Chain A
Amino acid sequence: MVGQYGKRLAEEIISTHFGDLVAKVCRCLLHNGTLSLHEIVRYTDMPGSHVKNCLLILIQHNCVQAFCTARKGSADKTVTLYMAIFDNIINRMRFSKFLSLIKGGDLAPKESQTKEGQCKYALLKGLLQNGRLTFEQLVERSTSKEQQMDRVQEKHQSELRACFNELVRLHYVERCPRPEPFIYPEPEDQPKPTRRRGAKTAEQILSLEQQAIEAATLAESERFSEIPESSVESAEDGIVNHSPATGDKRKRETLETDLDLLVAIAENEVLWRANFEKLLYCLKTKICTENVRSRLGDDAGVVLEAMMEANSEQKIKATNVSASFDGILNNLAGSMTLDRVRTILDELDCKSATDKLEAIYSLDLNATLEACKNDEIEAVIKARYGDQGYKIFRLLSTKDQLIETDRIAEITFMEKKEAHQMLYKLWRDEFIDIKKVPSQGSGELPSISLWRFHRKAFYQTLLDDIFHAALNLTVKISQLVEKQHEILEDDLKNLLKRKFILQLSLLKLDDSSMLFHNF
């Protein structure tokens, strides 16, 4: 569930990147949910053709997904509905981070840049900038950019394809989802099944939007199916098909024709896009690794990174990481001894098991993610309320139970009156909850106050504050960009410095938004 400032931030991003008209259509979908074209026209009061163009732009850039379903009350007629994909809109703030993940690319240090890395960087950049492209369009793009001629040079198509396929193999790039999947509506005459008390079924009741996303998503094998080499290129590479019987020649020619057709389709018709799921997973790896490094040392960070890269299922929301010992060692490339790796895996609280004579290590990332989140919240508390507020909050967040005022003062070594005042401030600003119970002793007070940090509810509030702050930074950056054209050259340098500070702050704040929203 996205709060109001999350939606406003998404709107602001679309407005900055595509203009106010597209932002208006996007706002309509974000605030009103899934709508048909007719409904969007009605809500936005824009001509139908303008709305269509705006939708095309949003679909091109993966910010909207279309799907078909049966019109209400009519089994024969269908209607196309459009839904905004909030996460993909927010991902637009992260393009520079995604590009920095390419090893040896343009954002790597000069000495570690490689020709292959720069090629992959250019391909991914093309996909991020344009939303979705065919391979042929990517090739045209790389050869038409004259300033990149020195870097990319005249690429033989197969060299580009090799880099591209590597991106697909590593899942940085994927085939685009189905453009308009059909969702079968639930029959209206059947009563909705009542959930049996206590029964936990594997089937979850998915919303229409979730069904649409699932239906649009291709199967894994198709999604990351690479572009094959054509038969000509295979022959050039010396891959000769030796067939002893003469009768197989026709069969071979037919196969080669089929292969060429597949290649043509894959290059000219299949649309490709950046795979945000993988890219976000890589960012998640970075954030978790950084946290572990700060708590347990550099070696622990390196091992965790190797483990997350070797993880068999790289899903953003999944907190369980599982990798074979060999996979971890491969990624470490001999930088540590086996004993040292095993010691660190134990220190990380990994569980080990054996599967088909292979040692598998698994780790629950929940503790690390909670530690990252706590660091963020505690920093806010310390900045707003000082050391006293920080200590009280640390106590309540680590204990995760109701604690009485006097006991809080005892444990934190605070005067009772001070503790009481601070607790009320934290409660007033919605950081903690209070529960009053009647006093059973013969003391003066009619009730005893118990305090608790309600984690889940607080996370939602904080996330909206993070989006709000990100929106403010975005607005401020836009304001400085407007001023760039008005001020003198002497002041321009200072203005650019301040703009840089705001942009860096936004990048850092975005890490927090990923922690509380995506991971």
Chain B
Amino acid sequence: MSGPDSSRKRSRLDPSSRPTTGAPAPALNERDRILALIKSRANRGIWSADIKRETDIPQTIVQKQIKSLLGSKLIKEVTDIRYKSRKVYMAVEFEPSDEISGGTWFSGGSLNKEVINDVRKRCKQQIMMLKAATADMIYKGMKKSDPNIMYTMQQIGDILQSLVIDKEVEEIKSTGKGDFANVPAGKVCYRTTQRSSRGHVGALASIPCGVCPRLRDCTPNGEISPRNCEYYKQWLGAEYF
């Protein structure tokens, strides 16, 4: 009685018994299936663990085929900004989506600080020129001075928000008069802040207690106390007190 094992054995030992037509060898199927799956994900890419789960191909074979596809330059590895430790693969003909790459402000999986600082500088220049301006006015001004810029209103809004957070500009409602003459009264607009408002040195922050990690443990006559405090000694520059 010939069983499955014996038929395989026969095909190995007897080359004439090998079929000439029908399904390709199993290894090629796996490679094509993986490549097809990766291509189907277009610019979103796919994580290696997801490839294994969806194709039901053992992990070692998946890894081997991915390596082969990378070598053949049919796929590439990209960084998913949301899950940096994952290996995500994409067909070479696609560019990673904003969701994966992080958008305009990211490059190679990291924040592109140069680009961000450049856009911040341009926004500030527009605000200084106009004295007070809405986001729309700033955007149009930037477009006018450099028609090649490709940023959206939303992105300029993000930059303006970061300038407000850093106190380089303030978000304020227009009065329609004085510096705000070009902005209708009541509309939200932006203007540069006074230099002196940015460098405020707080009272609590300017003494050792304000930044001390042990403040809550400190008592006048305790083990940690102002009387023997090392931070005070350093601050006053008086080790012998």
* A interface list, Cβ under 8 A from B: 8, 12, 293-297, 343, 346-347, 349, 375-380, 382-384, 391, 394-395, 398, 406, 410-417, 444, 462, 465-466, 468-469, 471-473, 475-476, 479-480, 483, 491, 494-495, 498, 501-502, 505, 508-509, 511-512
Contact = CB atoms under 8 A, between A and B. Distances in A.
B227 A475 contact: yes
Contacts of B238: 494-495, 498
Interface of B: 81-84, 105, 110-111, 116, 158, 161-162, 164-167, 170, 173, 175, 177-178, 193-194, 196-197, 200-207, 209-211, 215, 218, 220, 225-227, 229, 232, 236, 238, 240-241
A336 B167 CA distance: 29
A27 B43 CA distance: 71
Nearest to B109: A415
Contacts of B110: 415
Contacts of B205: 376, 379-380, 382-383
B49 to A, nearest CB: 11
Given A380-B211, A475-B225, 6 more contacts: A377-B202, A383-B210, A469-B210, A475-B220, A498-B236, A508-B206
Contacts of B215: 465, 468-469
Nearest to B236: A498
A74 to B, nearest CB: 43
A376 B201 CA distance: 8
A343 B178 contact: yes
A508 B164 contact: no
Contacts of B170: 295
User: Interface majority SS on B: helix, strand, loop or mixed?
Assistant: loop
Contact of B165 (A411, A444, A501): A411
A295 B105 contact: no
Contact of B202 (A347, A376, A415, A475): A376
A343 B200 CA distance: 26
A376 B204 contact: yes
B207 A509 contact: yes
Contacts of B84: 417
B202 A472 contact: no
Contacts of A293: 196
A378 B196 CA distance: 15
A473 B207 contact: yes
B220 A383 contact: no
Contacts of A465: 204, 209, 215
Nearest to B83: A444
Contacts of A508: 203, 206
Contacts of B193: 295
Contact of B226 (A379, A412, A472): A472
Contacts of A502: 236
A391 B197 CA distance: 16
Contacts of A410: 158
Contacts of A505: 203, 206-207
A8 B220 CA distance: 10
B158 A411 contact: yes
A469 B194 contact: no
Contacts of A512: 202-204
B195 to A, nearest CB: 9
Given A294-B197, A475-B220, A476-B227, A378 B202 contact: yes
A378 B197 CA distance: 12
Q: Which 6 A-B pairs have the closest CB atoms?
A: A379-B202, A469-B209, A379-B205, A472-B226, A383-B205, A508-B203
Given A383-B210, A505-B203, A483 B241 contact: yes
Contacts of B204: 376, 379-380, 462, 465-466, 469, 509, 512
25 contacts: A296-B194, A346-B177, A375-B202, A376-B203, A376-B204, A378-B200, A380-B204, A394-B166, A398-B164, A406-B82, A411-B162, A466-B204, A468-B209, A469-B207, A469-B209, A471-B220, A472-B209, A472-B220, A472-B229, A473-B207, A476-B226, A491-B240, A508-B203, A509-B207, A512-B202
B241 A495 contact: yes
A406 B241 CA distance: 49
Contact of B211 (A383, A394, A475, A494): A383
A325 to B, nearest CB: 16
Contacts of A476: 226-227, 232
B165 A394 contact: yes
A462 B205 CA distance: 12
A394 B175 CA distance: 25
Contacts of A294: 194, 196-197, 200
